[in-house]
């Protein structure tokens, strides 16, 4: 009898607990199901969005290969409007810039690269854009702009490459002493694989002469 009463008490306690806490338990389960459903929906949406961005990017790649500027512009507009937070937009602008360089339109190439620098969300793509922008500006005679693009504070692991390109710009300006310093610094970081050691060494050797004698010449 005592065992029976004990079990009955336990059942009553369980019923009482359920009356008090049941709604919270059910609510928690419902919220958990909804949260899981929302998470799955969010993941599916992200996958679908990424796939759609890839399709738009692939169309742009084909248009670049065909030098179809109208289609390139249209695909960049789609990427900018719908998928601006994906890396595909910056990659697309880099490709568009290459197309413009191949076509001899350096101003348009610089504009695309500058937008990657200013608006890009991927640090590595931004650094790549900076190096290409510096080359384009140098080819266009804008050495000040090229040096500004190669801002060392944002270089990261690309620092040796930035130093090499800064050396190229300084050579074009006739500042051989400063250029030599940039090439030397680039060589010091060549083990990172960002620059070609032999190429940088050839540039450094090509400056030749006595560093002290050239100091006045390069700074004049």
111: burial class by Cβ within 10 Å (0-12, 13-18, 19+)?
A: middle
Residue 69 contacts residue 35 (beta carbons within 8 Å): no
The pLDDT tens digits for 146-186 are 999 999 998 999 999 999 999 999 999 999 999 999 999 99
**What own/partner pairs with CB < 8 Å and gap ≥ 24 does 194-198 have?**
194/157, 194/158, 194/159, 194/160, 194/161, 195/160, 195/161, 195/164
In this prediction, residue 211 has a pLDDT band, given cuts at 50, 70 and 90, of very low
Average pLDDT over the chain reads 82
Q: Which residue matches tokens 């060549």?
A: 190
Q: If you average pLDDT over each of 75-84, 90-99, 185-194, which comes out highest?
A: 90-99
Write down the pLDDT at residue 169.
Answer: 97
Residue 75 contacts residue 59 (beta carbons within 8 Å): yes
116: burial class by Cβ within 10 Å (0-12, 13-18, 19+)?
A: buried
Contacts of residue 11, Cβ cutoff 8 Å, sequence gap at least 6: none
The pLDDT tens digits for 27-43 are 665 566 555 555 554 45
In the predicted model, is pLDDT for residue 200 greater than 80? yes
Contacts of residue 27, Cβ cutoff 8 Å, sequence gap at least 6: none
Structure tokens of 3? 């065992």
The pLDDT tens digits for 115-153 are 999 999 899 999 999 999 999 999 999 999 999 999 999
pTM: 0.72
Residue 185 vs residues 19, 174, 188: alpha-carbon distances, Å = 75, 18, 5
Residue 137 backbone dihedrals phi, psi, to 5 degrees: -65, -40
């Amino acid at each position: 009898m005592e065992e029976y009463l004990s079990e009955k008490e336990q059942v009553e306690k369980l019923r009482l607990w359920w009356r008090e806490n049941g709604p919270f338990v059910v609510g928690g389960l419902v919220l958990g199901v909804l949260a899981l459903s929302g998470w799955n929906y969010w993941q599916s949406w992200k996958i679908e969005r990424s796939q759609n961005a890839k399709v738009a990017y692939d169309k742009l790649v084909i248009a670049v290969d065909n030098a179809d500027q109208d289609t390139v512009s249209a695909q960049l507009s789609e990427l900018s409007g719908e998928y601006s937070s994906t890396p595909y937009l910056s990659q697309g602008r880099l490709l568009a810039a290459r197309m413009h360089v191949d076509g001899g339109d350096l101003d348009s190439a610089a504009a695309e690269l500058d937008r990657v620098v200013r608006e890009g969300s991927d640090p590595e793509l931004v650094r790549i854009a900076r190096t290409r922008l510096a080359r384009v500006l140098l080819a266009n005679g804008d050495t000040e702009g090229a040096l500004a693009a190669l801002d060392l504070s944002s270089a990261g692991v690309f620092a040796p490459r930035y130093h090499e390109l800064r050396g190229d710009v300084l050579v074009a300006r006739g500042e051989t002493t400063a250029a030599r310093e940039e090439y030397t610094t680039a060589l010091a970081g060549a083990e990172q694989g960002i620059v070609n050691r032999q190429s940088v060494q050839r540039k450094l050797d090509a400056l030749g002469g006595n560093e002290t004698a050239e100091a006045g010449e390069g700074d004049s």
